[in-house]
Amino acid sequence: MFPSSPDPLVLETIDRICKNEIPRFQGEAHYNTVPRALFKVFGDAGVAGLAVPEAFGGIAASASTSAAAFDLISRYDMGPAIFISVHAMACGLITRFGSADQKSSLLPKLASGDLLAAFALTEPGAGSDAQSLTTEAVQDGASFVLKGGKCYITSAGFADLYVVFARTADASGSGISAFLVPPGIEGFSIGSPEKKMGCELSPIASLFFDGARVPASALLGPLHQGFKVALSGLAGGRVNIAACANGLSRAALDAAVRHLKERRQFGRPLAEFQGLQFMVADMHSRLEASRLLTERAAADLDSPSASISSTRLSSSVAKCFATDSAMSITTDAVQLLGGAGYIREYAVERYMRDAKMLQIVEGSNQIQRMIISRELLDGQD
């Protein structure tokens, strides 16, 4: 139906890694960490280089292949899918906007999984309204001095490289620039991992800049064009978040169907009660619609002829619909398992907690609805 299709070889490799490797990292000992050994296994298999060109050691996967990869990983555990998708977004930005030096020095190590990247846009005072960010980067000779802070940054404390968005001119979107900032430099510190509702294998924390100095060569893309850099990463990011939602929904629906067939009440399997059959039918229909919207959005990203406007629209529709569907499907799965659904051992409560995150990140679903309605009502690129 859609012109681009995922690469089956990449997906086979990912499925094998997920089955063999993820379970040993799912214990509490690894909560609130990025398990670097796991990231390296993905790196060795090419998955850390999904968004890196082959010339720099990556696999330059299509948006369709990337989306299918994140869908698959999320069926096992959403944490690795999230930190790898953020890493892929940062790699994509370096590929598109990096200087020759930035690309040759960073991309091969990012593709191999030796370096992990993070994306730092959100601030305590600037979330949905990211353009209002106040972290500043003041030019001082051949360097920029960063002052301010970021919050909720995925992989903070574990990443080797942060794409940091900071204000370099007036108070609008056109006064923001992007910088590549390594940890460990003077004036740059990182908070403790936040204690959060779910997604335990993908930590978030705050970044604090107090006079951190980076060379002018750390600028990613043109001066004052950082907001465009950020936006260019978000369309692909949203499709990947939709894909994560579909992976969670698939895992939840499979668990619910298994349970309905096995569990007996009133002398019959639960699967024989029509009220529950109808719930399963609705869950399946929502997942199918979400998958098709996600494939459509990925195909738009892969199509050289798709307009910016149609890509923005399809990625926001997919993100909003698939993540709202995942919230509904995972909540229904908990209900269908009854008491067992509320117990950690059965995993569906984890899917439900993880689904909530997806309605908030990469532009909340209210923001997606604003983008969708703006595209329809203003109708311009």
Ligand X SMILES: Cc1cc2nc3c(=O)[nH]c(=O)nc-3n(C[C@H](O)[C@H](O)[C@H](O)COP(=O)(O)OP(=O)(O)OC[C@H]3O[C@@H](n4cnc5c(N)ncnc54)[C@H](O)[C@@H]3O)c2cc1C
Which residue's C-beta sits nearest to ligand X? Answer: 127
Q: Measured from the CB atom, is 284 or 369 closer to ligand X?
A: 369
Binds ligand X by CB under 6 A, chosen from 85, 122, 206, 225: 122
Whether 362 is catalytic: yes
- Longest Cα–Cα distance in the chain: 80
List binders of ligand X among 80-99 (CB under 6 A).
Answer: 86
Catalytic residue among 123, 200, 349, 362: 362
Q: Are 336 and 342 in contact (CB under 8 A)?
A: no
b/e burial code for range 65-94 (CB count within 10 A of at least 16 → b): bbbbbbbbbbbbbbbbbbbbbbbbbbbbbb
* C-alpha atoms less than 13 angstroms from C-alpha of 70 in its C-beta half-sphere: 35
Binds ligand X by CB under 6 A, chosen from 42, 76, 97, 119: 119
List binders of ligand X among 139-158 (CB under 6 A).
Answer: 152-154
Pairing mode, strands 136-140 and 143-154? antiparallel
| Residue 364 contacts ligand X per CB under 6 A | yes
| Residue 132 contacts ligand X per CB under 6 A | no
Stretch that binds ligand X, among 109-117, 252-260, 326-334, 362-370 (CB under 6 A): 362-370
Stretch that binds ligand X, among 69-77, 306-314, 355-363, 373-381 (CB under 6 A): 355-363
| Residue 227 contacts ligand X per CB under 6 A | no
Stretch that binds ligand X, among 44-52, 101-109, 138-146, 359-367 (CB under 6 A): 359-367
Q: Are 35 and 274 in contact (CB under 8 A)?
A: no
List binders of ligand X among 174-203 (CB under 6 A).
Answer: 196, 199
DSSP 212-267: EEEEGGGEESSTTBHHHHHHHHHHHHHHHHHHHHHHHHHHHHHHHHHHHHH-EETT
Task: Record the tokens describing residue 316, joined without a space.
Answer: 């926001």
Q: What residues line the site for ligand X (CB under 6 A)? A: 86, 119-122, 127-128, 152-154, 196, 199, 204, 357, 360-361, 364, 366-367
Active site residues per annotation? 362
